Structure 1
Amino acid sequence: MAAGLVISAPASGVGKTTLTLALARAWRNSGLRVQCFKSGPDYIDPAFHAAATGRASVNVDSWAMDRGTISHLVSRGIDADVVLAEGSMGLFDGVAARGVCGTGATADIAEMLDWPVLLVIDPSGQAQTAAAIAAGLRDYRPGVRLAGVVLNRVASPRHEALVRRALLDAGIAVFGALPRHAEISLPKRHLGLVQAEEQAEIGKLIDEAVRFVAEHVDLDAVLRSAATWSPQPAASGVNVTPPGQRIALARDAAFSFVYPHMLEAWRAAGAEISTFSPLADEAPDPVADVCWLPGGYPELQAGRIAANARFRSGLRAFAETRPVHGECGGYMVLGTALTDADGISHEMTGLLGLETSFAKRRMHLGYRLAELAAPMPGHQAGARLRGHEFHYSTIVAQPDTALAVVHDATGAVIAETGSRRGQATGTFFHLIAEDR
């Protein structure tokens, strides 16, 4: 039996990840086995969870996944003592139209698993109003239970006392209050946190977070607030077909946005994955059946990618006889040109006619449902794929045949259709699951 708890907040940027990492590492340091999950389509936070717990973390998503898939993924916590699910955005934030079994909101996961919610509240610029917000979240949706609150970035002892009294008067437990502490602020860039693998000091940051949180939060009381939980047998696993038997996967700081559950599902189905680094001017494994370029930050490395002739020529040679697929940043690299933030155009691999620009940033964000008009690695024409798109690049040209008809979560058709030419295909969305 494990103790299950959801970490959420009224909004993004309040400190959910820092608190999750601190709790996970503190309990691990005390000898407990801790398993983390990420609610929603964030592909960066699971790597931070793994750094804190020593165990792989995966995403669970109520818009893209059915209950069987979620149950299968969460069942990895069967041997853990504590299981933490970190939310995305605010507790009830999702899309307007329901997906497979929910809107993608963290509250869906909390209700589905029957785990109480630990709220992180930032009362900056307010006092008693913070209690009104917490009470509103507690009462908004039957079936979602509130364990209590951790305050973050309190300005002073007086400020803390005002907020604490209001929360206690509202019948809401306060497990601790964290003063402002810049030393444990995790660095960010335009798509979220700087990736864990890029931070040499990540271990020290987590250790400092543990020291700071343990000083101000009653960790034992938080643990007691968690629900006793035992995973139920899953009727089904992750509905993802490997793109090939032998997969050459681009993997480095520019190509790292791939969901952990995808790689696990590929391996579980018998696929073999070999990684290569375009930034190190490496070409895909010549004995692979398919090459997959995930998203990441190619716009920050465009000049280096353009200069890496061995990678570019090796990928072109591979694509003459075998499929190559790119997601988001990987799709951009399969195109002819990528213009960086300084307005400099860099030649890419030219396997597709796509031209993109980062010079004029425009955010593209949201769930995507695509019906394939043609096959792509692992999926036949007509397949319905669920994924998520998040980037700031603008399409300058997308001249090739459309790969799919793509809708957003409201059902509206969008222009980011993906492309296909010869053996090459690409999409702006990151695949999460295929509709059963």
Structure 2
Amino acid sequence: MTASPPPPGADERPRVVVVGSGWRFLSGISYYTCRLSNALAADYRVGTILMRQLLPTRLYPGRGRVGRQLSELSYDPSVHVFDGVDWWGVPSLIRAARFLLSFRPSVIVFQWWTGTVLHSYLVLCLVARLAGIKVVIEFHEVQDTGEAQHRWAALYCRKLIKPLLRRTDGVVVHSRFDRVALRATYDLGDVPDEVVLHGPFDHHEHPAAHSGAAPRGGPAPHPRSAGEPCRLLFFGTIRPYKGLEDLIEAFGRLPSHYTLTVVGETWEGWTLPATMIAESPAAARITFVNRYVTDSEVDGFFAAADMVVLPYRRSSASGPLHIAMSHGLPVVVTAVGGLVEAAGKYSGTTFVSAGSVPALAEAITRASENVGRRHTDPSSWEESVAAFSRLFARIGLTSALPSGAGPSPAERVAQDAEITASSNQTVPLLAPDLR
């Protein structure tokens, strides 16, 4: 689908183009690109350029589902969508450049999550700069953890991202921890940055969740008594840094009234959790759904859960965390990276140190006290848009909507020191799990 840019004078609000993942290679960035574009459309005239064919399909970990209709989310009718750019470039990249020039934005916002889009971003960035368009990069991670394992892919990314960064007017990250990690990796100099907290992933909710009825069609929550069944859920792609093997081992130490459902697609050949599930003495109480599930199924799995457990070894952001918070569920999550900030204000959070099976088992038992109560999600897309507006103003877009002043440079330094000390993630890498 390719949408035509709006006619001149149709809408005089400031114009923004968001560049990110399309629906063909569905991932958390696909959802995030859509949700961000729709949120910005409340205050800005928004166009979106989607990366359609990221790489040869045979090289993608989820190759079996490429192109399948798994998402029910859609772009707001006011958002003008170009779908999309293919990795080989011609003619899709030429058409994307024409779309960009026709739309005439003041700023272009690149979603950064994989090196496969780097060459396309370099071209679009060059076109934008020649046209006087400001350039912002929103970092979800420094480089995909799977790509970083391959020497040539890592080298390609680290070398060729530098020309892109030299032409960048502003940077967005999801937490102060990520800001420290990013600046430790790349020399950004005095390029302005802004912390934009991840907005809620509430698009999976059943309509009843907004009506005051029993949440998502299930029974009304109620406080649990000792020994009453407690249903745990792990959700998201299965990768080495997710810590699922810690959860499987910890689950084996829990009493028999606990059950566990694991829902996720295996990436990077990480089959250890699957092997552990099959061999676990508690295997009869574990349900394993080893695939990328549809949006309607997502709601069902969270509706059936009493608690979500996310035992990441490291992380900068987590889509499953935001889905859990939008459902009001108790969450046990490791205190690593950006998750400290993302879940710190959520009343249903129980933090636990990463990599400790006994601590994880104890945290799950302790968090059971939160089961049966619905908790309020503190995240907001309105706050995300306000943070973008602050950055737009800082990089000289006088037409950007005023949204209040951000912290001073001295306050930023103090915040960075505080958040670095508050996280037990010692590897300064961004590692998001947006789905």
On whether the aligned pair clears a TM of 0.5, the verdict is no
Q: TM-score normalised to the size of structure 2?
A: 0.28
Q: Greater helix percent: which structure?
A: 2
Instruction: Name the TM-score, length of structure 1 as normaliser.
Output: 0.28
Structure with greater strand share of residues? 1
